[in-house]
Amino acid sequence: MTYEYDRDTAISALGDGLHGAHLSPGWAVGPAINGGYLLAIIGKAVAAELASRTPDKSHPDPFSVSAHFLSAATAGPAYVETKVIRSGGRFSTVEATLVQDVDGARVPRIAALATYGRHRDQHSDRAHDPTSDAAAAALGLALAPPVLPPVEECVVSSDAPPEVREVAPLLLRFGTRFDPATAMWALGQPSGNGLIQGWFKLADDCPLDAVGLLMVVDALPPVTFDLGMIGWAPTLELTAYVRARPAPGWLVVRHQTRTMAGGLFEEDCEVWDSTGTLVAQSRQLALQPRTP
Amino acid sequence: MTYEYDRDTAISALGDGLHGAHLSPGWAVGPAINGGYLLAIIGKAVAAELASRTPDKSHPDPFSVSAHFLSAATAGPAYVETKVIRSGGRFSTVEATLVQDVDGARVPRIAALATYGRHRDQHSDRAHDPTSDAAAAALGLALAPPVLPPVEECVVSSDAPPEVREVAPLLLRFGTRFDPATAMWALGQPSGNGLIQGWFKLADDCPLDAVGLLMVVDALPPVTFDLGMIGWAPTLELTAYVRARPAPGWLVVRHQTRTMAGGLFEEDCEVWDSTGTLVAQSRQLALQPRTP
């Protein structure tokens, strides 16, 4: 395995539904490990568990993964406990909990429910199928990606100020190119729109599959940055939908919030692949930063 | 208990985290029991379990409930198995599974993760708090309800054609008043917008609390009706966020889809109370009907 993402999300089957992992410090943001990186590890463990139980490996792809964040994970050993609660038919569902040992005690970090299946080949010929993507497009229901400036005119995440890179080394893992109009918060001029978008790939060009999209939906900074709130916005819950396997090439990612209420905000994310197909979307509920 | 909703969602503690319920046939839609009604039962069991463990009953309100639908529930006895996986602090998280006995076998219907806490008094004076709703409104982040025609000019759900009422007796439980512009599908003239909205209350005026909102987010017909697809749209997963306790009076509910892909569609729901406050939102991933 030559890619950093592949290495850092590697899991090993330990039997009885248990999968071992090692959380790399390179994916930290402030005091915690990035949630999307942890979701990808959980997603790989679920896929491995299902593959070990069904010889035809019929459910390799996430459709919906709901994660409730319980405590902040730290670099070091971790385990994913899995329990298959539905299998057979079109979908399988797995309970998966990411845990770490702290002074000999089992501490749960993330509790997740994951429903997996097999995504269609998105470009197969199904012209006469009323459930085809072509039929959806004809109904105006193929959500189009935002129009972004060319990659080379966008802002590279690894160009973030040194103090930001220091608290968020994961910026060096990501090859994000921010739409400059939605990155003015980095210069102290947040737009106030609550919108951040850009091109996305991993810095080392590691190709991403359907499970990798679970990382991408939590890869941008919190949209509260664009509201002038540069602070820690802990996620309470995140549900990701993977809608299709991504084609190779640059992804387009958009994060947006519409509602702040009761001290929390929801953050919606959409991800399109290089063919313009919506491949993932997610919504999370997070605590509003109390600063500045 | 004089209200039907209260009666039909009543639960009884059986010890060891187990709660008994009885699913009433009055909440059926076609071959299954309505998902929102089941979520309310799960939500009550979670609240009861948490209340039994914390004498100060500090976490009565749902914040996020993620439900993966495993099989169709039927009228009759049911159980909610609960396991508290985080308690103390600002939030508690509970694993909850709705199960039924079928020929002596335990059959899971819905697997859920629920994060509970205590909602603020939404109208308390927090003028100088940057996380107050007033501050959010000043940022343009207080999502406003749609403007609807007056209740008396809207379409009553119990006026649905007899053949619809027969497959969906829950229409008689609901006092929904549909915005006529989004109910033309009932006359065979779907708008094609994928949007259904209206006023909501229960037919017998039963008051609803924060847990009751878990029922409301799945109370409207699938938005695919408004796309001309009058068919069964089974939910794969639904995550509800409760943002505030509802004030008494009519609620406003909006269901909308933006994306159909791979044979599935996401359906977003928002619920506002009579003061115009967003009190709940949800997103579900459902299978597209194959008809007509």
d(CA B88, CA A134): 50
Nearest residue of chain B to residue A281 (CA atoms): B266
* Entry field: residues in chain A: 292
d(CA A190, CA A78): 37
pLDDT of residue A1 exceeding 70: no
Share of chain A above pLDDT 90, in %: 74
Per-residue pLDDT, averaged over B238-263, amounts to: 95
pLDDT category, A120, cuts 50, 70, 90?
Answer: confident
CB-based contact A264:B281 (threshold 8 Å): no
Q: What is the pLDDT of residues B170-192, one digit of tens each?
A: 888 999 999 999 999 888 899 99
DSSP code, position A66: E
Q: Which residue has the higher pLDDT, A57 or A237?
A: A237
* Sign, Cα dihedral of A217, A93, B218, B180: positive
pLDDT of residue A126 exceeding 70: no
Which of A68, A93, A140 is facing B113, going by the closest CB pair? A68
What pLDDT does B268 receive?
A: 97
| Contact yes or no for A63 and B236 at CB 8 A | yes
Which of B93, B236, B261 is facing A115, going by the closest CB pair? B236
| Beta carbons within 8 Å of A38's beta carbon, 6+ residues apart | A23, A73, A98, A109, A110
Least confident range from A86-95, A162-171, A188-197, B237-246: namely A162-171
Q: How many CB pairs under 8 A join A and B?
A: 174
Which of A236, A243, A257 is facing B64, going by the closest CB pair? A236
pLDDT of residue B127 exceeding 60: no
Instruction: Using alpha carbons, list the distances in angstroms from residue B197 to A105, B148, B205, B222, B271.
Output: 49, 8, 19, 11, 10
Residues of A in contact with B233 (CB under 8 A): none
Count CB neighbours of A32 within 10 A.
19
* Entry field: residues in chain B: 292
Bridge partners (DSSP) of residue A111 are A68, A97
Nearest residue of chain B to residue A66 (CA atoms): B66
pLDDT of residue A148 exceeding 70: yes
What pLDDT does B187 receive?
A: 86
pLDDT of residue A66 exceeding 70: yes
Enumerate residues 81 to 110 of chain A having a beta carbon within 8 A of any beta carbon in chain B.
85-86, 91, 93, 95, 97, 108
Bridge partners (DSSP) of residue A174 are A202
d(CA B37, CA B47): 15
Residues of A in contact with B229 (CB under 8 A): 130
C-alpha distance from A248 to closest chain B C-alpha (Å): 18
| Beta carbons within 8 Å of A187's beta carbon, 6+ residues apart | none
C-alpha distance from B288 to closest chain A C-alpha (Å): 7
Residues of B in contact with A239 (CB under 8 A): 66, 237, 239, 283
What pLDDT does B169 receive?
A: 86
d(CA A164, CA B182): 48
Share of chain B above pLDDT 90, in %: 74
Enumerate residues 245 to 264 of chain B having a beta carbon within 8 A of any beta carbon in chain A.
257-264
3-class state of residue B240 by DSSP: strand
Instruction: State CA B243 to chain mean position distance.
Output: 13
C-alpha distance from B140 to closest chain A C-alpha (Å): 8
Per-residue pLDDT, averaged over B223-251, amounts to: 93
Joined together, the tokens standing for residue A20 give: 């071992």
CB-based contact A274:A228 (threshold 8 Å): no
Share of chain A above pLDDT 70, in %: 97
Q: What is the pLDDT of residues B272-291, one digit of tens each?
A: 999 999 999 999 999 998 76
3-class state of residue B66 by DSSP: strand
Least confident range from A43-57, A129-143, A193-207, B3-17: namely A129-143
CB-based contact B283:B270 (threshold 8 Å): no
Query: Which amino acid is residue A199, in one-letter code?
Result: W
Q: Which residue has the higher pLDDT, A106 or B30?
A: A106
What pLDDT does A131 receive?
A: 74
B interface test, pick of A94, A241, A265, A272 with most B CB neighbours within 10 Å: A241
Q: Which residue has the higher pLDDT, A153 or B133?
A: A153
d(CA B270, CA A287): 19
d(CA B272, CA B97): 28
Please give the radius of gyration of chain B, using alpha carbons only, rounded to the nearest integer: 19
Residue A281 touches partner B, C-beta closer than 8 Å: yes
Q: What is the pLDDT of residues A9-27, one digit of tens each?
A: 999 999 999 999 999 999 9
pLDDT of residue A37 exceeding 90: yes
CB-based contact B283:A239 (threshold 8 Å): yes
Compute the mean pLDDT over every residue in chain B, rounded to the nearest whole number: 92
C-alpha distance from A284 to closest chain B C-alpha (Å): 9
B interface test, pick of A84, A191, A259, A287 with most B CB neighbours within 10 Å: A259
Residues of A in contact with B280 (CB under 8 A): none
CB-based contact A245:A269 (threshold 8 Å): no
Residues of A in contact with B143 (CB under 8 A): 258-259
What number is the ipTM of this complex? 0.95
Bridge partners (DSSP) of residue B166 are none
C-alpha distance from B72 to closest chain A C-alpha (Å): 13
